Amino acid sequence: MKPLAALAALLALSGAIPLPGPVAAVKWRHGQAVALAGPGGAPVLQVLRPPSGMRSVDAGRAVAGARRVDVIDFAPDCEGTVHALLLAAFPLGRDRRLLCHFPGQGEASCDDLGDLRCLLLAADAPGRIWCLGEGPEGAWLRRLAGSEGGRRIWLPAGGPRSSAGAARRAWMEAAAPGRLRIVWPGLALLADVDLANGRAQMSRLPAPAGRSGLETFAADGDRLLALLPLGAAAGAALNEPYGLFELRGAWRRLAPERSWPRGARLAGAEDGAVWIWNRMERRLERVPLASP
């Protein structure tokens, strides 16, 4: 076993996985972590699956002729394919947004998104990809790939949730097959979307979600988890710790013996545990969850 894989396996047993150097984003899905690394314009997606090791995906190699490639968002599915939303810059000032697919085995492929301005991706089933962002049909949520013939668009554009500021801070995750959850923290708004019929149940989030601008979220079925500031004052101080909470009518604190430094983020939740990206320590930390 390679040293990194051996270390990852050892620390996974103790509830932590080291990350391969500086990373810009991390997601935990389907028993694996996907981290966005690499210098600006040359992104690399690192896929860590303890204890088997790590594979690296050079996202720019999928786009021939591009002078610069940036990853806007990414979403792994349960079959091991990593789907990534890329912004590719070509000579003569031409930019294209692409949805690229990086399977565990085989060649990468990309689809041109044209006028779509996707900001977030989610995969609720193998090859079934959803985009949150503006598009020409006047909708804010759409299916980009998979399940041809089903419903394709939801959430009409317009209103406060479509503003640039609200969109940049939005979060989206597939809580289960056929189900998306979307949070607009600045608006304290939650959408629970049934992908079978297109219905979106909207509800308000209680404070302190949306207060600091650094809240992050994770979903596992009916459970919505958040990393929220522990202080009671409006705003969050630079040294203010964050705690793990679950929405049960109000935000109820979990693992009260633990806290994380400002800037820590939720990477995902599944199988009775939540994974927290401790940016200061450059690692993922596993926190077991009690039954709701």
- Find out whether 128 and 101 touch, Cβ atoms under 8 Å: no
| Angstrom distance (rounded) from CA 97 to CA 51 | 34
Chain-centroid distance, C-alpha 58? 19
pLDDT at 182: 93
> For 2-29, what is each residue's pLDDT tens digit?
434 444 444 444 578 999 888 999 999 9
Please give the C-alpha separations between residue 271 and each of 147, 211, 286, 288, in angstroms, as whole numbers.
26, 29, 11, 9
Model confidence over 123-140: pLDDT tens digits?
999 989 999 987 776 678
Distance CA(52)–CA(223), nearest Å, equals: 29
Q: What is the DSSP letter of 81?
A: P
Of the listed ranges 41-45, 48-52, 134-138, 264-268, the one predicted with least confidence = 134-138
Query: What's the per-residue H, E or C state across 40-51?
Result: CCCCEEEEEECC
Q: Which residue has the higher pLDDT, 268 or 137?
A: 268
* Average pLDDT of the residues of the chain: 85
Q: Which residues make Cβ contacts (< 8 Å) with residue 28, sequence separation at least 6?
A: 267, 268, 269, 270, 275, 284
d(CA 236, CA 73): 26
222-251 confidence digits (pLDDT tens): 999 999 998 765 555 677 899 999 999 999
Q: What mean pLDDT comes out for the span 182-203?
A: 88
For the whole model, what pTM was predicted? 0.87
- Using CA atoms in the order 8, 10, 15, 19, what is the torsion angle rounded to 10 degrees? -20
Q: What tokens were used for 88?
A: 């590719």
Q: Is the pLDDT of residue 1 over 70?
A: no
Q: What does the pLDDT average to over 90-98?
A: 87
Instruction: Specify the pLDDT at position 255.
Output: 94
